[in-house]
Amino acid sequence: MPEGLIGRRIMQILLARMHESPVVALQGARSVGKSTVLRLIADHHQVEVIDLDDETQRALAEASATDVVDGDSPVCIDEYQRVPAVLQAIKAQLNRNHENGRYVLTGSSSFWALPRGTQSLTGRLHLLEIMPLSQGEIDGVREDFLDIAMNEPDRLRTSRTTGMHRGEYAERICRGGLPLAIGAVGHARDRFFRSYVGTELARDVLDLANIRQVNVLPKLLDRLAGQSAQLLNVTKAGGAVGLEPRTADNYVRLLEALFLVRKLPAWGRTLRARATKAPKLHLVDSGLAAHLMGVNARKLERRDPAAIVEFGHLLETFVVGELLKQASWLDDVDHIGHWRTSDGAEVDLIIETFDGDVVAFEVKAHQEAGGRDAGGLRALRDSLGEQFRAGFILNTGPVAYRLEDRIHVCPIDRLWHSASSWS
């Protein structure tokens, strides 16, 4: 992965957390850049990286985890979940030396999905998720859209038009944000994704659970890709690949623990009980989702009914992913979810601050936005009153403007442009 693509904000956050906590663990999907970040940290401190994906180093760690974790600070361990015993050894070291910034770890599976006996660092460890690269990181732009949307939403209005068209959005969707996919095109990108959900997935699952049907997981992931940006239906996805509902639910949890799928929970802190409790599903990367759905940018540009539906779902997954990346950089984000009621009101993404205020987003694939598109945002605003800071219809149109009280229309490509370029 080219080091120039590493998000500077992630590096800044990591260095700050190292001053606050004895152990920082970077977690996220395979190939998002965790190892590159770790190598940069190790080079800066002139220490070596202990790579537990390497058979020799893994064997040494399995033979004596204590020797592996007893080094100069920061001890940098890549893919620590391959030898969970290192966590117990780290705990023993911290009982003697509790200095902050002592260990930096990376893992391709969720810390909370590891066996309970390995979770001994609770209270001493800061978890930091690294997501696929944002569009701004790829373009070399410092994004501030979400920060402004949460604090100064009227600044997003501008008469400047955007040059983005459907085909360019389709290209960005299918490229996604996984660094190795960004640099590949055509069949090379397809080969990367096939490997990504094949041998890599099978190996990583075995770090978490001893399951009998490893080969069914890529097929299940295919079915889940078809549900991206929709309410999760585990029974339907599992039944399509021959899994009983309980087994399918366990396998979906495994895929979630590997950061391949994300369940966006239903949000309803202060709202009436008829709000649905079902989570919405998103794949972690729109490029991966497009590959699994068997579509490319050329197919998404078509205007036939199937392509229109696929483009809409993938566009929502793409936009939600970009907003979640920006949310991970901010300190004032408490809860994130989606909202849908039994009478048809829905909002694709809600971000709640620690003081209980809300900013909401609805993603639309068309260029024109009118009052009907604001129905969910309007219902949410009327339910929350003053706690509703702002709502945005993010669409493929060219201009940002205020539609009505605290509800705005904004082109999607504003997400990866800095405010200085809007005037």
* pLDDT attached to residue 403: 92
**Per the omega criterion (within 30 degrees of 0), is the bond before 245 cis?**
no
Structure token pair of residue 245: 């509902």
Closest CA to 50 of 80, 18, 11, 16: 80
Alpha-helical runs (H) found in 120-266: 135-139, 145-151, 166-175, 179-182, 186-196, 199-208, 216-225, 234-240, 245-257
* pLDDT attached to residue 316: 98
pLDDT digit string (tens) for 32-58? Answer: 989 999 999 999 899 999 999 999 999
* pLDDT attached to residue 273: 42
Q: CA angle, corner 192, sides to 186 and 197, nearest 5? A: 130
* pLDDT attached to residue 7: 58
* Range 390-418 burial, b when 16+ CB lie within 10 A, else e: bbbbbbbbeebeebeebbbbbbbbbbbbe
* pLDDT attached to residue 160: 64
Q: What's this model's pTM, rounded to 2 decimal places?
A: 0.92
* pLDDT attached to residue 2: 41
> End-to-end alpha-carbon separation of the chain, Å?
34
* pLDDT attached to residue 112: 83
The ranges of the chain with pLDDT < 50 are 1-5, 270-271, 273-274
* pLDDT attached to residue 220: 95
Sign of CA dihedral 108, 180, 333, 234: negative
* pLDDT attached to residue 3: 46
* pLDDT attached to residue 338: 96
